[in-house]
Amino acid sequence: MRAQAEEVELSCKAAYLMDEASGVQLYAKNEETRLPIASMCKIMTLLLAFEAVDNGELSYEEEITVSERAAGMGGSQVFLGAGLTYRADELLKSIAVCSANDSCVAIAERVAGSEGAFCAEMNERAKKLGAENTLFANCTGLPKEPQYSCAKDVALMLRELHKYEKYHEYSHIWLEDFVHPDGRTTQMTNTNKLIRSYQGCAGGKTGFTNEAGFCLAAAAQRGETQVISVVIGADSSQNRFSAVSSLFDYAFDNFESVTYLRAGDAAEQRIGVRGSRVKNMSVTAEHTLSAISRRGTEETYALGYELADEVRAPICNGDVLGYAILTRDGVEVDRTALLAAEDAPEFTWWEAYREGARYWHHG
């Protein structure tokens, strides 16, 4: 489903456009070329922090004491005071909104003990994501050799970050005062101008160094269609925004997404349960199954199920009972686990006796 090169004219070193739901590539230009990505590396910094909260290793309310090293970071910053304590969610917000290098290092030191150890975790997480052309040397994106990524890998990282509701809360803030414990305030301005100028823009991350040029990874949604666009190495700030906007326009003009089963929704089929008061139950999709097609083309998608007619108790809410599978022309393109929507405890001795007696009586 690759775009024809002449359909989009972009002035940048590399670009990538992806359907967010399915991961399908819609446009690519030098998408695997290894390039510096500047502050777009903070997408991974934020992702690891949110995952640390998920794992119970960090909480948004936690107070973090800022080291001399974190406070001394150059480049974009919120001027944290060394030795002062800040709430983790305030630090994370300043990374998402105004790309604060000092907050990145404070978070990295808290999560992993040091920026170096955190950086090793960033590289490990990149491998698990399938980001094969990525190497981080720090958590800020400030120039340091060797470090690089590529347009396709940045899209994979942003797609993963987008699963976090907290990120969406931060990414739509345009202007906000960052209040320090000592009474100072620093005004934060969102570096991603598209949240105000492009309809449906759902956040993103800018980057700039002399080596990287002007970079932007952003997401946008219209109707059911959600896409991620990455531009690396534009020659001006305006050009990165217009290049990403052009990719969004191209996506919404030429493609449409159809959702076949949404995460949390019940599948058409129910499943019988043996050995429990619960006789049958609904199963819900673990993640959304959707497909994107070029407008005007006939692509035949179908939703099928791998699901037994019945299962034996006990069943716990959330147990995997089968799979829903999306196929195109008979070939599997995606699948999701189907989860039990409730508990189905085994019969007690008395219930089993009564059930047996009922069958014997009717037999």
- What residues are annotated to the active site? 39, 42, 99
Q: Which residue has the tokens 């492009």?
A: 198
The SS3 assignment for 46 reads: helix
How deeply is 113 buried, as exposed, middle or buried, from its count of CB atoms within 10 A (0-12, 13-18, 19+)?
exposed
Count Cβ neighbours within 10 Å for each residue of 66-95 and write b for 16 or more, e otherwise: bbeebbebebbbbebeeeeebebbbbbbbb
> How many whole angstroms separate alpha carbon 194 and alpha carbon 1?
26
Q: Concatenated DSSP letters for 51-97?
A: HHHHTTS--TT-EEEPPHHHHT--SS---PPTT-EEEHHHHHHHHHH
Indicate the helix (H) or strand (E) that contains 104.
helix 101-112
List the 331-340 sheet strands across, edge first.
301-307, 320-328, 331-340, 280-285, 266-274, 310-312
Q: 77, 100 in Cβ contact below 8 A?
A: yes
Give Cβ neighbours of residue 55 (< 8 Å, ≥ 6 apart).
none
Q: Which is nearest to 319 in space by CA: 347, 354, 286? A: 286
> How many whole angstroms separate alpha carbon 302 and alpha carbon 220?
26
Total count of residues recorded for the chain = 363
Give whole-number Cα distances, 213 to 23, 208, 302, in Å: 26, 5, 44
Give Cβ neighbours of residue 249 (< 8 Å, ≥ 6 apart).
none
